[in-house]
Structure 1
Amino acid sequence: MEDDSLLESFWAVTRRLRERTRITLEPWHVSPSQSRALSVLTSDGEIRLSVLAERLHIAPRSATEVVDDLQHRGLVERKPDPTDRRATLVALTPAGAATAAAIREARASEGERLFAGLDPADRTELARILQLLRDAR
């Protein structure tokens, strides 16, 4: 019974995070997958579309749709790959970089609100446990 309660609590927190993320992203009119793509491009710089799909853990076709939407909004651009003329690189535009930075700041603030009720020791312990779960295979 305790495991069911633990699982249900975990799912409740997950649902709460998803809802808060959706609300947090509203000012920029981006989806969570578009936000993740902006984040990957911020950390990785310009990369091939296939690499972006791998990093987002989505099908290449889905990555193409995400990039199409972001490109239409002027947040990313496609460039030819100088090392392989058949490949395409995806890169943030200045507007995309600014949007990614604003989203990162808003999400950090939202995270602080979510974890504000935890004392430093609880935060450290939660981080440790979540890393164990994240890294478990």
Structure 2
Amino acid sequence: MAEPLLAEHVDAVTMSGEYDNDLSCLMAQTTRGHRVLLAALLAEIDLYPGQERVVNALAEHGPKSQNALAKILGIDVSTMTKSLQRLERSGFVSRSPCPTNRRISVVEITPAGDALRPEIRRVMREAHRRMTQGLGPEQIDVLSSLLATVRDNLCPEAATCRPT
């Protein structure tokens, strides 16, 4: 029964010209807004979006190969390589050959990267505050639950990113 109601809702929205309230449009605008906000806040501490996740993953999981780190974060290896290059240039991570297989690079957080973690927490708290401004704790819980469901529907592989 849910499918026909959904189709009727989508048809009603597109027929009325209310594209700004269409779920896909809202999702795209929200995602873009979040990325712009996070980019601005992370730039204050010389990071790009996504790099905070790399630093935190290394701090939590210890040294990892680039492939293992990409899998933990649920991102493409080529994306991981670019992110690591920037983080290494900034002195937040170091890469060295694996002692047992020199074709594999092992990535490790540096003291400078570890010292950055309180600033990352501050930035993430500020992003959360701005995103949820005007919402009560129960509304935030509902929003988080709904977004997790949408994420699971769209990206089943995102299970690799979930906290264990």
**TM-score in terms of structure 1 length:** 0.83
Q: 1:127 aligns with which of 127, 144, 152?
A: 144
Q: Which segment drifts farther, 2-11 or 33-42?
A: 2-11
Give percent identity, aligned residues only: 28
Q: How far 1:97 sits from its partner (Å)? A: 1.2
**Rg bigger for which structure?**
2
Q: 2:84 aligns with which of 67, 82, 85?
A: 67
Q: 1:14 aligns with which of 18, 31, 39?
A: 31
The answer for unaligned runs of 5 or more in structure 1 is: none
* Mapped partners of 1:123, 1:33: distance in 2: 23
1:68-124 deviations in Å (ceiling 9; x for gaps): 221122111123434434422101001111223312221112212321311122112
Higher strand share: 1
Check if 1:88 corresponds to 2:105.
yes
Which runs of 4 or more aligned residues in structure 1 lie more than 6 Å from their structure 2 counterparts after TM superposition? none
SS of aligned partner of 1:53: helix
Judge conservation of contact 1:36–1:56 (CA < 8 Å) in 2: no
Aligned positions, number: 136
The answer for unaligned runs of 5 or more in structure 2 is: 1-11, 157-164
**TM-score in terms of structure 2 length:** 0.71
Check if 1:105 corresponds to 2:128.
no
